[in-house]
């Protein structure tokens, strides 16, 4: 597809990987809307990127419906949804509390489903569209403390396969992107430390692959991309 004048909606576009994707698509000529819950950070990013800010929680169904109302009022149409908003809680199985577990699934799984459902209605009517799901290499194998986060990314990967099977007949491309560790606020937000190291991936590398995947002619698509740092040092 040609990104010039395309319209893109990026959840969690105020920080990290989502912000880098928003910046890259905007630099390619797309009109970009970004969502997030923290109004201050969202507004600041939107001003810097000349993007449309929509303060919304993907886990809140009323917020999701309002997101599309605001988007269509401003842009009139949508070509690309990037389901990027995500959070992590990392604990041993025996220490996991139900509310932390459910909060991870609410954003990473239910939120992605609600956002994709509303986009898919529009894409089916137009007989075209793109859904990019930002999963993780955590969706490819398990690890200690990964009960909620890793399982949520396995679930996102599973939903991606279902949506792809359902939506291809409407010319809708559904992509899965699996970054390995990226330098962002994600770990700090989860209460973990992350060593800053120039050998690790940045949001820009993920954004580069999202752009490349989208720019392939609409007759084709790559179903799944994993992105690794070449020689990461901790």
Instruction: Work out whether 11 is an interface residue with ligand NAP (CB under 6 A).
Output: yes
- The reply to whether 150 sits near ligand NAP by the rule CB under 6 A is no
Segment (H or E) for 175: strand 172-179
Site string for ligand NAP, 23-52 (x = CB under 6 A): ------------xxxx--x-----------
Instruction: Choose, from 68, 149, 170, 208, the residue flagged as catalytic.
Output: 149
- Which residue in the set 79, 181, 209, 213 belongs to the binding site for ligand NAP (CB under 6 A)? 181
d(CA 224, CA 234): 26
7 lies in the site for ligand NAP, by CB under 6 A: no
Give DSSP secondary structure letters for 128-161: -EEEEEE--GGGTS--TT-HHHHHHHHHHHHHHH
The verdict on 136 binding ligand NAP (CB under 6 A) reads yes
For residue 178, the SS3 value is strand
Active site residue 149: yes
Nearer to ligand NAP, 55 or 124 (CB): 55
- Close Cβ partners of 33 (under 8 Å, ≥ 6 residues apart): 7, 8, 9, 10, 13, 51, 52, 53, 54, 70, 71, 74, 75
Binding test (CB under 6 A) with ligand NAP, winner from 127, 185, 197, 222 = 185
Report how far residue 204's alpha carbon sits from residue 74's, in angstroms, rounded to the nearest whole number.
Answer: 27
102 binds ligand NAP (CB under 6 A): no
Tell me the catalytic residues: 149
Q: Which residues bind ligand NAP (CB under 6 A)?
A: 11-12, 14-18, 35-38, 41, 57-59, 84-87, 107, 111, 134, 136, 179, 181-182, 184-186, 189
């Amino acid at each position: 597809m040609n990104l010039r004048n395309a319209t893109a909606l990026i959840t969690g576009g105020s920080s990290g990987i989502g912000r880098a994707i928003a910046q890259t698509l905007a630099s390619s000529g797309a009109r970009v809307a970004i969502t997030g819950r923290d109004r201050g950070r969202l507004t600041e990013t939107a001003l810097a990127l000349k993007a449309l800010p929509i303060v919304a929680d993907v886990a809140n169904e009323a917020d999701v419906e309002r997101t599309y109302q605001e988007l269509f009022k401003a842009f009139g149409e949508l070509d690309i949804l990037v389901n990027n908003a995500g959070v992590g809680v990392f604990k041993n199985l025996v220490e996991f509390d139900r509310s932390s577990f459910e909060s991870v699934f609410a954003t990473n799984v239910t939120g992605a489903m609600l956002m994709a459902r509303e986009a898919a209605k529009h894409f089916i009517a137009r007989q075209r569209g793109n859904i990019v799901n930002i999963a993780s290499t955590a969706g490819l194998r398990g690890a200690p403390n990964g009960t909620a986060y890793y399982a949520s990314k396995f679930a996102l990967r599973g939903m991606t396969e279902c949506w792809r099977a359902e939506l291809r007949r409407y010319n809708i491309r559904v992509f899965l992107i699996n970054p390995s560790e990226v330098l962002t606020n994600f770990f700090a937000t989860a209460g973990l430390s992350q060593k800053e190291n120039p050998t690790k991936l940045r949001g820009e590398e993920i954004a580069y692959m999202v752009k490349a995947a989208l720019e392939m002619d609409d007759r084709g698509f790559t179903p799944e991309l994993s992105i690794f740092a070449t020689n990461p040092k901790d």
